[in-house]
């Protein structure tokens, strides 16, 4: 179901005490004030902090727990890996998949991401599936072609029921961690394109029902403008999610 949503991707940052302090600050600043109209907030800490951070989130509130990755198999001899089922068992409801950092540094391709999506869905997790073009692709005027292919190859193999569980995040690679945000018009243009592609692959209702987030140097200053776009339903926030005051301002930017 389409919803206003802000996810904080903490990436590989913070120690355990710092993580607990940050989530404490966020929940006390953002509180549950106006919880009925408040957006869904998904906090995505590193694996070792998941359970403890989840315990700090007010129960039955708009705060939810998410992970940053999962393995494609349910269990087995995969030293160092973490399965979707394990994540669900510590209280995760969401998992980020296909982040450009995973695609680039860990060579995650569409085939592998397809398996991870299936594993996440089978464990009852909602995937936050990332797509986004590089600067070269944008400058070659191939953004739509590239994103269209990422959607078709990465996501549109899911059944209608499976797809209904997915949140999409548009994250132009050139905007991630660079301080160079897409303009709200650039974000809106790609979000509208993504919605069109969903309508083609599934149907018009599925397109209307999908939550599509923007990510890439979104911050306390530009969130309101980005979120005011008709096809932008919220944000996947990296750097600014590590500062409680900034993250709270972003949550309150609808």
- Is 171 one of the binding residues for ligand PGA (CB under 6 A)? yes
Decide whether 102 or 195 has the Cβ nearer to ligand PGA. 102
Give residues with Cβ within 8 angstroms of 107, minimum separation 6. Answer: none
Q: How many residues bind ligand PGA (CB under 6 A)?
A: 13
Nearest approach, Cβ of residue 223 and ligand PGA (Å): 11
Nearest residue to ligand PGA, scored by beta-carbon proximity: 238
- Is 154 one of the binding residues for ligand PGA (CB under 6 A)? no
- Is 234 one of the binding residues for ligand PGA (CB under 6 A)? no
**DSSP states of 118-154:** HHHHHTTPEEEEEE---HHHHHTT-HHHHHHHHHHHH
* SS3 category, 71: strand
Residue identified by tokens 């991707």 is 9
Which of the stretches 49-57, 80-88, 196-204, 209-217 binds ligand PGA when contact is defined by CB under 6 A? 209-217
Across-strand partners of 66?
A: 94
Q: Kindly list the distances between the CA atom of residue 123 and the CA atoms of 89, 118, 183, 197, 253, in Å, as whole numbers in the listed order.
A: 9, 9, 36, 27, 32
- Is 113 one of the binding residues for ligand PGA (CB under 6 A)? no
Which of the stretches 28-36, 81-89, 156-164, 170-178 binds ligand PGA when contact is defined by CB under 6 A? 170-178
Q: What are phi and psi of 39, to 5 degrees?
A: -70, 160
- Is 148 one of the binding residues for ligand PGA (CB under 6 A)? no
Whether 171 is a known active-site residue: answer yes
Q: Answer positive or negative: Cα dihedral of 199, 202, 208, 212.
A: negative
- Is 217 one of the binding residues for ligand PGA (CB under 6 A)? yes
CA distance 169 to 150: 12
- Is 238 one of the binding residues for ligand PGA (CB under 6 A)? yes
Whether 99 is a known active-site residue: answer yes
Decide whether 157 or 243 has the Cβ nearer to ligand PGA. 243
- Asked whether the beta carbons of 108 and 101 are under 8 A apart, the reply is no
Q: Which of 215, 232, 233, 253 binds ligand PGA (CB under 6 A)?
A: 215
Q: Which of 114, 127, 216, 234 binds ligand PGA (CB under 6 A)?
A: 216
Label residues 105-129 b or e (16+ Cβ within 10 Å = b): eeebebebbbebbbbbbebebbbbb
- Is 172 one of the binding residues for ligand PGA (CB under 6 A)? no
Across-strand partners of 64?
A: 42
Nearest approach, Cβ of residue 75 and ligand PGA (Å): 28
Nearest approach, Cβ of residue 73 and ligand PGA (Å): 25
- Is 108 one of the binding residues for ligand PGA (CB under 6 A)? no
Catalytic site residues?
99, 171
Give the interface with ligand PGA as residue ranges (CB under 6 A).
Answer: 9, 171, 176-177, 215-218, 236-240
């Amino acid at each position: 179901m389409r919803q206003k949503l802000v996810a904080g991707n903490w990436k590989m940052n913070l120690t355990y005490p710092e993580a607990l302090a940050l989530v404490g600050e966020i929940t006390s600043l953002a509180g549950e004030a106006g919880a009925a109209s408040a957006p869904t907030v998904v906090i995505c800490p590193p694996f070792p902090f998941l359970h403890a951070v989840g315990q700090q989130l007010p129960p039955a509130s708009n705060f939810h727990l998410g992970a940053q990755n999962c393995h494609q198999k349910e269990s087995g001899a995969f030293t160092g890996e973490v399965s979707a089922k394990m994540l669900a068992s510590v209280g995760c409801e969401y998992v980020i998949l296909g982040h450009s950092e995973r695609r680039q540094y860990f060579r995650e391709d569409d085939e592998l991401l397809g398996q991870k999506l299936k594993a996440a869905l089978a464990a009852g997790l909602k995937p936050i599936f990332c797509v986004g073009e590089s600067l070269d692709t944008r400058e070659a005027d191939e953004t739509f072609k590239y994103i269209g292919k990422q959607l078709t190859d990465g996501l549109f193999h899911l059944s209608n029921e499976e797809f209904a569980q997915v949140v999409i995040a548009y994250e132009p690679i050139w905007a991630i961690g660079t301080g160079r945000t897409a303009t709200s018009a650039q974000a809106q243009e790609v979000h509208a394109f993504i919605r069109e592609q969903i309508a083609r692959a599934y149907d018009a209702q599925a397109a209307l029902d999908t939550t599509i987030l923007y990510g890439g140097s979104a911050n306390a200053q530009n969130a309101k403008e980005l979120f005011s776009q008709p096809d932008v339903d919220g944000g996947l926030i990296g750097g600014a999610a590590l500062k409680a005051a900034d993250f709270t301002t972003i949550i309150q930017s609808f």
